[in-house]
Amino acid sequence: YNINRGFSIHLYDGHTQVGSTNVAILNNTFALPAPYVAGGHIILATPSVTNSLIANNIFYQPKNSLAINYYALTMSNVVVQNNITYQGVISAASPPAGITFAGNLDNTDPRLVSPSTHDFHLQAGSPAIDAGVSTTPTVTTDFDGIARPQGAAIDIGAFEY
């Protein structure tokens, strides 16, 4: 997803005070900084996020170097794992309680074919190849419709190598 305006994913309750539950943000490639926001590709801004998973994503050049931004919320059983962030980090140094991080790679080049021309496929030798974690729900095809996995494990990002 090429960021031209705003956040790619924005969890916000619209002042209804209803939280988000069972959110799965899986196998995406978020690319380039959003020009009109404080930073990040994902913003979690509802009153609560519970039982949710953010996994196997590539965050390429997030604005202000943060892939995920938080605004005044409560989290419970939120897992962020096996994501790659290039020219940035997955999260602020002090994320809210209730979120667990595992296997994320910060400031790591995912070796995309040509981000400047919006070709976000993986190159040979990419650290994203076979580096994803099995998820439920399962992502069974990539953005091109190719079956996942093609190797020993699912690839991180929107495209299988």
Distance, in Å, from the CA atom of 95 to the CA atom of 161, rounded to the nearest integer, reads 32
Average pLDDT over residues 90-109: 91
Q: What is the predicted pLDDT for the residue at 45?
A: 78
Produce one character per residue of 128-159: b if its CB has 16 or more CB atoms within 10 Å, e if not.
bbbbbbebeeebeebeeeeebbeeebbbbbbb
Residues 26-78: tens digit of each pLDDT: 999 988 877 666 667 877 877 888 999 999 999 999 877 888 888 767 889 99
Distance, in Å, from the CA atom of 4 to the CA atom of 84, rounded to the nearest integer, reads 21
Q: What is the predicted pLDDT for the residue at 6?
A: 62
Q: What is the predicted pLDDT for the residue at 52?
A: 93
Q: 33-37, 83-87, 128-132 — which is least confidently predicted?
A: 33-37
